[in-house]
Structure 1
Amino acid sequence: MPATRALLPLVLLMALQVMVCGGACVEVDSDTEAVANQGFKLGCISCKKRGEVKATASVSWFFQAWDDNVSSELYTYAEREGKVMDPRFYGRLHWNGSKNTEDLQDGSIYILNVTFNDTGTYQCKFRRMLIYSNSIYETNPNKTVIMKVVPRVTRGMASIMSEVMMYVSIIGLQLWLLVEMIYCYRKISAAGEEALRESAAEYLAVESESKEVEVAE
């Protein structure tokens, strides 16, 4: 079918992209709305641009409360060990990033029992050392997350629109499949009718020849 053949290259391309990107690092922005008395992940991903280059990295987090003018060091993670630096987060902060490696690309942390006092600006700073055969090159990517604490889960317009688009896509796909089924049925039906007409024409032709032969005899 023409429509199916036209979509086949697109499907193959998407599958190839998934296979290629399946194990790749993807930089995803952190959520920014936390719910009071629940846990919250502060995401911070910094992908290494050249995967074949050996590297080591450390991560430092800084926090500036909404009613404060300065930021303070919140957390550090280096050589597979983390340390909470801000007393306000003692016993409530855990490493949620890359594990069992010094080549860190995910520097996320997790806050337990979020309070309204945790509202503010969080900054995640990487210190990455790229180790080449004859040199070492340092990079310092950083991410900023402005976190808001709310009393209960709220749904933003982006979330609502995403859900609406998901349902629209599902309905659209189902309609497309229905159209394809009708198109295929009509093609098969038309082909069957054509075959029947050809068979009938051949039968009539044979009958006509037989009668002509009988008359001639």
Structure 2
Amino acid sequence: MAKCMFVVFSLSSGSLCHGACVEVDSDTDAVVNEGFKLGCISCKRRGEVPAEATVEWSFMPKGESEFTKIYSYEDLTSDISDERFYERLDWNGSKKTKDLQEGSIYIRNVTWNDTGTYRCIFNRTLIFTSFKFHNDTTKIVHLNVVPRLTRGIASILSEVMMYVTIIGLQVWLVVEMIYCYRKISVQGEEALRESAAEYLAIASESKENCAMVVVTE
């Protein structure tokens, strides 16, 4: 029975993961003349504590040695500070909140000159009752611009294994549910048979007692 309860818990607990913050690395290959999302996620470790955060993006072109500020997001307002990216950068992070956990941006119409290293800096302030705590997190993305996107063998195998694992887990859960259902059904039938046997035994004993009373009279 404990095994059956575990299966039910596994099915119900799956929905608890929705909305959780997961730090995923950004893609690094952008196709020229197409759009591309520069990912930057910094999860707040204390979910119950209110916070505010700002995001700043800098860019170091391939072959250079210094970063240049290109974009910032603060108080729900974005600012493009590099003319190379004017009208080409869109905010793609957390919406309608100052408590940012995703600071991704979207590059429109990628060019060959966008190849290089991008730096995303999260400046977060945790607001406690009696004090504030400041924390900075830095993410680095090495962007490579290609004529067309090709998938490597490792990426394909990883995706296949992911789907195989998901399907395998679902099959296992279905099998366990069937097993538990049959086990519960068998136990229920046995309980009914035991109840019927007890009823017949009581009825038979009552009949014998009645017969003895009649003979005595």
TM-score, L = length of structure 2: 0.72
Task: From the superposition, tell whether residues 58 and 205 of structure 1 become closer, same or farther in structure 2 (CA, over 3 Å).
Answer: closer
Aligned partner of residue 200 in structure 1, secondary structure: helix
CA drift at 1:156:
3.7
1:195 partner letter: S
Q: Match of 2:157?
A: 157
Matched, 1:58 2:54: yes
How far apart are the structure 2 equivalents of 1:6 and 1:103? 36
Instruction: Name the counterpart of 1:28.
Output: 23
Does residue 68 of the first structure (1) align with residue 96 of the second (2)? Answer: no
Tell me how far apart the structure 2 counterparts of residues 129 and 210 of structure 1 sit (CA, whole Å): 87
**1:141 is paired with a residue of what secondary structure?**
strand
In 1, Cα distance between the equivalents of 2:126 and 2:197?
75
* Counterpart secondary structure, 1:140: strand
Provide closer, same or farther for how the CA distance between residues 163 and 35 of structure 1 changes in structure 2, counting only shifts above 3 A. Answer: farther
Q: How does 1:67-86 map to 2 (within 5 A)?
A: 67-70=62-65, 71-86=67-82
Query: How far apart are residue 29 of structure 1 and its match?
Result: 1.6
The question of whether the paired residues in 2 share the 8 Å contact of 1:60 and 1:126 is answered with yes
Q: What corresponds to 1:144 in structure 2? A: 140
Q: Deviations over 1:12-43 (max 9, x none)?
A: x958x94xx8777x252233155525433222
Query: Kindly tell me: are residues 166 and 149 of structure 1, through their superposed partners in 2, closer, same or farther at Cα, counting changes over 3 Å?
Result: farther
Q: Helix, strand or coil for the counterpart of 1:165?
A: helix
- 2:198 alignment counterpart: 198
Counterpart-to-counterpart distance in 2, 1:157 and 1:204: 70
Cα separation, partners in 2 of 1:163 and 1:6, compared to 1, 3 Å:
closer
CA RMSD of aligned residues (A): 3.7
Q: 2:40 aligns with which of 40, 44, 60?
A: 44
Unaligned runs of 5+ in 2: none
Return the TM-score normalized by structure 1. Answer: 0.72
Letter of the aligned partner of 1:158 in structure 2? S
The reply on whether 1:96 has 2:87 as its aligned counterpart is no
For residues 84 and 187 of structure 1, what CA distance do their matches in structure 2 show? Answer: 69
- 205 and 48 in structure 1: CA distance in 2 versus 1, 3 angstrom threshold: closer
- Rounded Cα–Cα distance in structure 2 between residues aligned with 1:116 and 1:32: 17
Contact preservation (8 Å) 1:44, 1:107:
yes
Distance 1:162 1:49, change over 3 A: same
Identity level (%): 33
